Amino acid sequence: MRFTLLADFLSRSFDILRRYATLDAIGLAWGHTGFVQLYSTYYIQLFAWIDCPCVLSQYFADNRDVGKETMKNLKKTLLGTAAITGMVAFAASAALAADVKVIHAGELLAVPGTASKSEQTVVIEGGRITAVLDGYRDAGDFGADAQAVDLKDKFVMPGMMDMHVHIQMELGPNSDSQRLRMSDADIAMQSVHYAKQTLMAGFTTVRDLGANPEQLYALRDGVARGWIDGPRIVGSGGVSVTGGHGDVDGMRPDLLEKYTSKTICDGGADCRRATRRAIKFGADVIKITATGGVLSDTNTGTGQQMADDELTEVMDTAHSLGRKVAAHAHAAQGINAALRAGVDSIEHGSYADAESIRLFKETGAYLVPTLLAGATVVKMAESSDFMSPAIKEKALRVGNDMAGNFAVAYREGVNIAYGTDSGVSKHGTNAEEALLMKEAGMSEADILKSATVNAADLIDMSDSLGTLEAGKYADIIAMDTSPLSDISAVLNVSFVMKGGKIYKD
């Protein structure tokens, strides 16, 4: 009979263990805490089972010869094991609680757009900021194992955020042939490399506005799980019209068929379907191409390409499913149509006119200027011959006009969020956009704000990102000199922390 009880006990144990292991496998993170929690829960469950009067009486009814002594011994053993497990759990949680970092910042710009302060202490626990304090506080005040991080001779600020990147590509003379030579796996590995370059340049969050969605979402999720060193990624799903800038071009017909995305649409209803499909497969944000673009190898210019009904359907559908919409747009007519339809950001915005400025201000939509893309394509058009005549013409015209148009929008008070179009320019050079913004007349303070506070607002993450305040993620960068007096300081980020983890020091 003792054997029966033991067998029941073991079978019950395995059952509970299996249930939790399955639960764990389908959802819970399998970290050390998960492991300890799993075993504590397992013992608690067993204990509850043994202690439950009904189960006990059932057992005594079924096993009359099981003496009280047996039960006492069994409970003692379980109590001992539970105590040990409890101790292990406690030790593990103490070890987690001990993951405290205390940064001493020589100059701290905690909230871009407000004044920086000298000699500040930033306390970080479990990946988030718990306090920002005046003066240098002893790390020991925040726990025996708290780690001090000495940035006393640095300028410290929130990690920068780039609202327009393409992490799976880098434009160059061989981009076309690479596209045909490289496998999906090759491109995925390459994007891991680009993601790391971006993070090391001080960009702790990016919004990717155009890529193979399946690979992009895998990269985004891999970074979030801590498998890959990269910035937080907000991943887009693209919706564009047949023959438009977001459609494939410049290939033989059978390849055009093969590579045509399932979210290419024509007409309002079809664009509604495409938007829903993009969201179904994992898009955090919808990217549309309201007008023609520089890098399409077609003579379609840079005018409006998506019709008003198509724009309206995309916006309404995306917003109803909780997603924002970013519109690539150069010509004023396309910018204005997208703004009227309720778009959340205009990318490039090269030829915004007075009506565009009025609509920007009325709707509160952001302009993501991507001046670096303009400067890059001009340089490429002038110094290399890999661009087709159609692309070259647009590159020289649009590239040279972008900065002037941006200057007007900035002066007029349009909301600006930092974005580079990296992938046109090289990954890891994202900070160069700041120099171009400065050249166009934007103040250093506003540039830093556009890359932090404004960007966080654009992706609806102001509660977690964009400033260094209690409760926010510890996404923190540092540089040797103050970018508030010379913006080029952002080119040399020497310290990068994301979610409390130091990636570069």
Q: Which residues make up the interface to Zn ion (CB under 5 A)?
A: 421
Torsion of CA 319, 325, 330, 333, to 10 degrees: 0
Shortest distance, position 85 Cβ to Zn ion, whole Å = 52
Helices 184-200, 213-224: inter-axial angle, 10-degree rounding? 50
Q: How far is CA 121 from the centre of its chain?
A: 26
CB of 413 to Zn ion, least distance (A): 25
Q: Please, which residue, 197 or 376, has the CB nearer to Zn ion?
A: 376
CB of 110 or CB of 234, closer to Zn ion: 234
Identity of the residue, 125 or 421, whose beta carbon is nearer to Zn ion in the bound complex? 421
Burial 99-117, CB ≥16 within 10 A → b, else e? bbbbbbbbbbbbbbeeebe
Residue 423 C-beta: closest distance to Zn ion, Å = 7
CB 84 within 8 A of CB 100: no
In the complex, least distance from residue 462 CB atom to Zn ion, rounded to whole angstroms: 24
Q: What's the closest the beta carbon of residue 378 comes to Zn ion, in angstroms?
A: 16
The least CB distance from residue 327 to Zn ion, in Å, is 11
Q: Closest separation between CB of residue 242 and Zn ion, Å?
A: 20
Residues 6+ apart with CB under 8 A from 348: 328, 329, 330, 368, 369, 370, 373, 374, 398, 402, 421
- Cβ distance to Zn ion smaller for residue 170 or 421: 421
Give 344 or 421: the residue with its C-beta nearer to Zn ion: 421
Q: Which lies closer to Zn ion via its Cβ, residue 107 or residue 421? A: 421
Nearest distance in Å: CB 207, Zn ion: 10
Question: Residue 421 or residue 432: which is nearer to Zn ion going by CB?
Answer: 421
Q: Are 279 and 327 in contact (CB under 8 A)?
A: no
Instruction: Give Dmax over CA atoms of the chain in angstroms.
Output: 95
Q: Which H, E and C letters describe 387-411, residue by residue? A: CCHHHHHHHHHHHHHHHHHHHHHHH
Closest CA to 372 of 465, 440, 277, 444: 440
User: 382 with 393: CB under 8 angstroms?
Assistant: no
* Cβ closest to Zn ion, residue 162 vs residue 310: 162
- Residue whose beta carbon is closest to Zn ion: 421
Q: What is the DSSP string of 410-443?
A: HHTT-EE-----BTTBPTT-TTHHHHHHHHTT--
